[in-house]
Amino acid sequence: MRALVFTGPEKAEVQDVPEPVAAEGQVVVEVGRAGVCGTDVELFTGEMSYLHTGQASYPLRPGHEWSGTVIATGPGVDPSWHGRRVTGDTMIGCGDCRRCLAGRHHICASQRELGIQDGLPGALAEQVTVPVRQLLPLPYAVDDELGALVEPGGNALRCVEAALLSPGERLLVIGTGAIGRLVAMFARARGAEVHLLGEAPRPDLPHAWTRDTLPDLPWDAVVDASNGPGMPALAVDLVEPGRRVVYIGLSGTPSHMDTRTMVLKDVTTVGILGASAGLAGTIDAYAQGLVDPRPLIGATISLEEVADVFRGHRPSSVGPGPKILVDPHRTI
């Protein structure tokens, strides 16, 4: 089968690799769509921290936002999974430790990430092997495109839930990328008044501001979905006293915050790692039409075109959406 392989920093190629075989407790999925994520870009450039801690190394096969159809089941797997359309949880815990048993497998000390860490080839390929316990079935209303957006949607939903907003309250989202816009979509679906703060004017987005144009309003919660090192401190400065700031964005350098501001304002801050607890809710929201992320899709490309995207080149036919999807079976 064909798969995208990172052979070194800034080096990517499509290779013919052996088709995967489902071991005990695993399935093989024919990938329908896979998403391109900022984490994939960091793995491509060599900036991803796992490459420096030894958790990941080249050659590496990326891809952790995906959907597809089960085409083979391994020993110990219920054969009824065969033929089902699915997506899956990227975060793979040991399943036996205190954290996993409490439903926090995404922070298991032995947690590994599909398409990100060594030994777990990702879904930017025609097929991918996944532990059956990581699978989530997709209903008819959630097609392959929506299925590939479940993982980023799960992150966004967790942010909204962590913000603890009531209908009619006001949310400020810092960052207008895919995660920031998904946060806005989920928050609006729950009745919040949502504003976005970005680096440049965005007339295509409702209530989108820059630092210079941001209105002086009380923000009942702030979600930082940016990668700006100064944004975590700004979020605490802007949020209403006694309310919440949710962090999901990560900057390339350490962020500095005066905790005296956080204490004196009685602000609660929450970090979000991974989509695990938000995946099922995201599938339901997509299936019911409560959230429609399709406008985020800028283009669907082939595996051969992905490297150019990682190098910062947008496809010529791309639309305004920030998200690039890949059809692994498409050829140029």
pLDDT digits (tens, 9 = 90+) for 102-139: 999 999 999 999 999 988 999 999 999 999 999 999 99
- What pLDDT does residue 298 have? 95
| Bridge partners of residue 292, in order along the sequence | none
The domain that holds 257 is classified in CATH as 3.40.50.720
Contact yes or no for 85/77 (Cβ under 8 A): no
pLDDT for the residue numbered 317: 79
Same domain, 198 and 119: no
Instruction: Read off the DSSP letter of residue 141.
Output: T
CB 119 within 8 A of CB 11: no
Give which of 190, 248, 198 is closest to 220, Cα–Cα. Answer: 190
Regarding whether 142 and 37 lie in a shared domain, the answer is yes
Nearest CA-CA partner of 238 in 220, 254, 264: 220
Q: What is the DSSP letter of 19?
A: P
Co-location of 185 and 133 in the same domain? no
Task: Calculate Rg over the CA atoms of the chain.
Answer: 20
Q: Count up the domains in the chain and report the number.
A: 2
pLDDT band at 59 (very low <50, low <70, confident <90, very high): very high
pTM: 0.96
Report if residue 288 sits inside a domain.
Answer: no
Q: Is residue 277 part of a domain?
A: no
Do 181 and 307 sit in the same domain of this protein?
no
- The answer, yes or no, to whether residue 314 has pLDDT greater than 90, is no
The parent domain of residue 213 ranges over: 155-271
Closest CA to 64 of 15, 116, 12, 7: 116
Model confidence at 331, in pLDDT bands (50, 70, 90)?
confident
* Mean pLDDT value across residues 200-215: 95
Mean pLDDT on 270-279: 97
Scan for tokens 């089941």, then name that residue: 73
For the chain, the straight-line distance linking the first and the last C-alpha, in angstroms and rounded, comes to 16
Residue 282 lies in a domain: no
Distance CA 150, CA 137 (A): 11
In a domain, 80, yes or no: yes
Q: Let me know if residue 285 belongs to a domain.
A: no
65-73/268-271 β-pairing:
unpaired
- 95 shares its domain with 172: no
Question: What is the structure's pLDDT at 252?
Answer: 84
**Is the peptide bond preceding residue 241 cis, with omega within 30 degrees of 0?**
no
Q: What's the CA gap between 322 and 247, in Å, rounded?
A: 20
Provide the mean pLDDT of the chain.
Answer: 96
pLDDT mean over 270-288: 98
Residue 332 has pLDDT above 80, yes or no: no
Within a domain: residue 283? no
The predicted-structure confidence for 230-251, as pLDDT tens digits, reads as follows 999 999 999 999 999 999 999 8
Q: Does a structural domain hold residue 284? A: no
